[in-house]
Amino acid sequence: MLLFVVSIGVAVAQQISADVTGVVQGTVHSPSGKPVDGAVVRLEQKGVHGGVEIQTNADGTFAFSTIQPGIYWLSAEKPGFRGRAVAVTPSSKGTQQKVDLVLEDGGSVQSTPGATLSPSEQAMAFADKPNFTVAGVTDWTAVGGHGSDSMLRTSEALASETVTLKPWDQVGSIGTADAAPVWKETEGKLRSDLEHSPGNFEANHKLGEFYLRTGRYGESLAPLQNASRINPENLKNQYDLIQAYDRSGRTAAALDRVHELLKQHGNGKLYRLAGELDETSGNPLAAVHEYEEAVQLEPSEQNYFEWGSELLIHRAVWQAQEVFRRGDEAYPRSARMLTALGAALFAGALYEEAAVRLCHASDLDPMDPEPYMFMGKMQTVAPDILSCVEQRLARFVKEQPDNALANYFYAMAILKRQQHSAETQTMNQAEELLARAVTIDAKCGDAYLQLGILSASRSKFSEAIDFYKMAIEGEPQLGEAHYRLALAYDRVGERAKAEEEFKLHDEIKSQQAEAVEKKRREVKQFLIVLPDQPVPSTAR
């Protein structure tokens, strides 16, 4: 049962005794993700004297009910731990906001919450350590963002794609069908070596590593475990064993092994592995602290990238920007660091700066398609023309003429410019690029859609209808194609078909909105606190 620890100021008591409008609940964790029982959690309304305190249960959980709309500060503390306060905003009847807080080891509460921070207030004075703390996570309530919903969705999509950007120094790996005969020969030799020397560390490790690299994760476990027993000090084998546990579905065992090793070897690679496993197991609070520690111990390109990506995917946009900036300063030849920085800048509505970073990324490796893809998606939804993008997309087509998306994105950049000054020659160029895109990829629905829009703009509605149908055939869930097809049917007098397409459009739009909402709620948002925030008089 939750315990109220202190009395409540009159003003707050009167408000909280009113009709129930919201619930704030959550869990208090240690930096390693373990629940903290007996922690005192305090809730106080901004600008109102007094507050409410409760203690966490044995599983670290807490809950405040009968919360009126407004801005509240939520904090937690316990002797031997240091906590920071964060803002919560229950806003309507029935609201249930879930907030997970993290207590750091050592000291008492040093700082307290501030209001929602502007970009300039959130700027990070990045020196040896960051000038911010990830104090907790919350369920999605209002993702922030900027501009239209299409820009917000693009921003979220780019954040997800950032995480999958290839390592800057990635080399080819075995994994093609042509390599299969070599695999078999190699496996036979490795198994033979192990049969002759079953107690040999190298024989066990090499066979386990072979299985791991060829995707046979379950088979890799036994030889890697044997190698670990023979020589527990060999970190290369330990890294391989951790990955084998994780990729064979035993993430908990992988985490246990990482934490065991961290007690003996506090290196950056191990902390990064711990961060990856924490994120996989649904503990982003622990993950972001592991990534930060990895950078402090080993400021490698990979560690900067992982830390910044973790911040970005959990909507700590301004902090992600600063981590990626720092990573770019340290690794100016990393195209993926610049691409990730571009995604973070776009998420913060800094469109032109985002474009400049992506253009620079494409200059580092003109054959790498990823920076072009990012800038193409940004250009399509950005409110204005992004100055350097069209030129780079033209180069993308020149370097990769058989890439359907290269042709499509270059066409879209041309069409965006044509909105300001239409020229027949360049319109024809865009149309040719779109036609080439659908020739290369018959399922490129977006290109068919644009061809239909061009035909409709010339009152060629029958032609437009054909293009819209092909767009839908390539991408059945392309809602705008159904909407445009309905308009075209209406213009040629086919009212029944128009109504059917309008209905399909509405259904698709509703389904997609529901899917986006579900996905947003699955992504926990980081709550950021700066160390120099003012301490209110009611703080403890």
* CATH code assigned at 128: 2.60.40.10
What whole-number distance in Å separates Cα of residue 311 and Cα of residue 487?
42
Of 15-24, 27-36, 419-428, the least confident: 15-24
Q: What's the average model confidence in pLDDT over 276-291?
A: 92
What whole-number distance in Å separates Cα of residue 111 and Cα of residue 132?
11
CA distances from 427 to 12, 34, 338, 412, 450 (A): 64, 60, 32, 10, 12
Q: Tell me the pairing of strands 133-138 and 95-102.
A: antiparallel
Tokens linked to 392:
């780079």
Query: Are residue 87 and residue 205 in the same domain, yes or no?
Result: no
Tokens linked to 361:
């990324």
CA distances from 285 to 75, 254, 304 (A): 16, 18, 17
Tracing tokens 């209808």 back to the chain, one arrives at: 465
Taking each continuous run of H as one helix and of E as one strand, the counts in the chain are 22, 11
Q: What's the average model confidence in pLDDT over 453-459?
A: 94
Query: Are residue 214 and residue 127 in the same domain, yes or no?
Result: no
Q: At residue 428, does pLDDT exceed 80?
A: yes
Of 132-146, 148-162, 181-195, the least confident: 132-146
pLDDT band, residue 90 (cuts 50/70/90): low
Total structural domains within the chain: 3
Query: Are residue 103 and residue 216 in the same domain, yes or no?
Result: no
- Reduced to 3 states (helix: H, G, I; strand: E, B; else coil), residue 259 is helix
Q: Which residue has the higher pLDDT, 72 or 236?
A: 236
What whole-number distance in Å separates Cα of residue 364 and Cα of residue 367?
9
Q: What's the average model confidence in pLDDT over 282-287?
A: 92
Supply the range of the domain harboring residue 213: 180-249
DSSP secondary structure, 225-257, as one string: HHHHHH-TT-HHHHHHHHHHHHHTT-HHHHHHH
Tokens linked to 228:
């670990």
Whether 466 maps to a domain, the answer reads yes
Query: Are residue 121 and residue 46 in the same domain, yes or no?
Result: yes
Whether 452 maps to a domain, the answer reads yes
Of 57-66, 101-110, 312-321, the least confident: 101-110
What whole-number distance in Å separates Cα of residue 17 and Cα of residue 37?
27
Count of other CB atoms within 10 angstroms of residue 56: 24
Query: Are residue 28 and residue 102 in the same domain, yes or no?
Result: yes
pLDDT band, residue 122 (cuts 50/70/90): very low
Query: Are residue 14 and residue 130 in the same domain, yes or no?
Result: yes
| Res 411: pLDDT | 97
> Nearest CA to 314 among 336, 357, 342, 282?
282
What whole-number distance in Å separates Cα of residue 411 and Cα of residue 430?
4
The β-bridge partners of 4 are 54
pLDDT tens per residue across span 244-262 = 999 999 999 999 999 999 9
* Average pLDDT in the chain: 82
pLDDT above 90: percentage of residues in the chain = 56
Of 77-86, 196-205, 238-247, 318-327, the least confident: 77-86
Q: What's the average model confidence in pLDDT over 156-173?
A: 74
Q: Which residue has the higher pLDDT, 135 or 381?
A: 381
Q: At residue 107, does pLDDT exceed 60?
A: no
Tokens linked to 431:
């149309």
What whole-number distance in Å separates Cα of residue 357 and Cα of residue 349?
14
Query: Are residue 185 and residue 122 in the same domain, yes or no?
Result: no
Of the three residues 215, 249, 283, the one that is the final residue of a domain is 249
Query: Are residue 131 and residue 211 in the same domain, yes or no?
Result: no
| Res 9: pLDDT | 29
Whether 357 maps to a domain, the answer reads no
Handedness of CA 351, 352, 354, 359 (dihedral sign): positive
* CATH code assigned at 195: 1.25.40.10
pLDDT band, residue 337 (cuts 50/70/90): very high
Q: At residue 220, does pLDDT exceed 90?
A: yes
> Nearest CA to 292 among 272, 322, 316, 312?
272
Query: Are residue 16 and residue 134 in the same domain, yes or no?
Result: yes
Compute CA 319 distance to the chain's CA centroid, rounded to the nearest angstrom.
13
Query: Are residue 198 and residue 135 in the same domain, yes or no?
Result: no
Whether 265 maps to a domain, the answer reads no
Of the three residues 209, 226, 249, the one that is the final residue of a domain is 249
Of the three residues 231, 249, 267, the one that is the final residue of a domain is 249
Whether 339 maps to a domain, the answer reads no
Q: Look up residue 492 and give its DSSP letter.
A: T
Tokens linked to 324:
């990626």
Of 65-69, 144-148, 307-311, 378-382, the least confident: 144-148
CA distances from 233 to 155, 245, 252 (A): 44, 18, 21
CA distances from 157 to 154, 343, 360 (A): 5, 10, 21
Query: Are residue 45 and residue 111 in the same domain, yes or no?
Result: yes
Tokens linked to 138:
């919350």
Whether 110 maps to a domain, the answer reads yes
Whether 153 maps to a domain, the answer reads no
Q: What's the average model confidence in pLDDT over 308-326?
A: 94
Query: Are residue 114 and residue 214 in the same domain, yes or no?
Result: no
What whole-number distance in Å separates Cα of residue 492 and Cα of residue 494?
6
